[in-house]
């Protein structure tokens, strides 16, 4: 299969280390592209729900594939999320072509692109926007506040703050939360002069334009690899949403990945 050349790929909410992760499908996708930059926009490895006894070979192969891509010239930016927030302790670390950051700003053809996971908005839509607007350090302040809130929540026996618990309360609450999340990100991006804002966290793939009296911005969410199996792709001229489908790959390619991950029994399962 000939690999598609791309400038940038954004993946979020892969949740390696959990049963819900579609690692095999992600492997197929990664092996079909040749990007200059990959942005892992939070919750790539699910540290919250990590179990020592559950780490399939397919999950390890995702890591090996990314390492191979780095060796072949791909830069990887790992942006921290809530499920891998432990990495925020080293969020200025660089190991060759691997960069760990809390947020990323790119200049693409004269347009500013702001990329971050988005879990900072979980504390309070109302106050998170106000705090994030306090100078350049506003976003970092929100991260510290979010960390403190999680520590207090754990001490009270309620566990860490989880978006999934919020949006499962009811459909109406889920719709309202997602809409508030998007509007908060959009208005912040306009206030700070960005042309694009890219988030993850809410597992809702979307490309949406927005305009108000202060300006305009393109909001994008790369979705997830639990339910939607989506990624954002930039080919040097425009952004597009990729959605995985089995039809994109031949039967032999699917069998090959399954054999490598699970052994010869996979041949019986796929026939």
The percent of residues above 90 in pLDDT, for the chain, comes to 54
Q: pTM for the complete prediction? A: 0.78
pLDDT for 136 beyond 60:
no
Domain ranges for the chain, please list them.
Answer: 4-117+197-270
pLDDT for 9 beyond 80:
yes
The percent of residues above 70 in pLDDT, for the chain, comes to 73
Whether domain 4-117+197-270 has CATH 3.60.21: yes
Sequence-distant contacts of 96-103: CB under 8 A, at least 24 apart: 96/70, 97/70, 97/73, 98/70, 99/75, 101/77, 102/139, 102/140, 102/143, 103/79, 103/139
Q: Please give the pLDDT value at position 48.
A: 75
Beta bridge partner(s), residue 39: 10, 77
The pLDDT of 105-132, averaged and rounded, is 76
**To the nearest whole number, what is the mean pLDDT of the chain?**
81
């Amino acid at each position: 299969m000939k690999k598609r050349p791309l400038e940038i790929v954004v993946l979020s909410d892969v949740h390696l280390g959990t049963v819900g992760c579609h690692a095999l499908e992600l492997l197929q996708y990664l092996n079909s592209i040749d990007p200059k930059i990959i942005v892992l926009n939070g919750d790539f490895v699910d540290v919250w729900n990590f179990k020592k006894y559950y780490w399939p070979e397919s999950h390890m192969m995702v890591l090996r594939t990314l390492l191979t891509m780095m060796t072949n010239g791909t830069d990887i930016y790992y942006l921290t999320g809530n499920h891998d927030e432990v990495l925020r302790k080293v969020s200025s670390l660089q190991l060759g072509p691997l960069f760990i950051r809390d947020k990323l700003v790119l200049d693409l053809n004269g347009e500013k692109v702001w990329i971050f996971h988005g879990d900072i908005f979980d504390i309070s839509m109302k106050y998170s926007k106000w705090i994030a607007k306090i100078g350049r350090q506003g976003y970092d302040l929100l991260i510290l506040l979010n960390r403190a809130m999680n520590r207090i929540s754990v001490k009270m026996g309620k566990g860490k703050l989880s978006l999934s618990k919020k949006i499962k309360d009811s459909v109406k609450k889920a719709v309202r939360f997602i809409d508030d999340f998007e509007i908060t990100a959009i208005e912040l991006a306009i206030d700070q002069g960005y042309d694009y804002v890219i988030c993850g966290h809410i597992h809702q793939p979307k490309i949406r334009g927005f305009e108000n009296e202060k300006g305009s911005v393109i909001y994008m969410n790369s979705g997830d690899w639990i339910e939607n199996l989506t990624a954002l792709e930039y080919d040097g001229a425009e952004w597009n949403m990729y959605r995985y489908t089995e039809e994109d790959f031949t039967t032999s390619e699917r069998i090959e990945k399954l054999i490598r991950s699970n052994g010869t029994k996979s041949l019986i399962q796929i026939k």
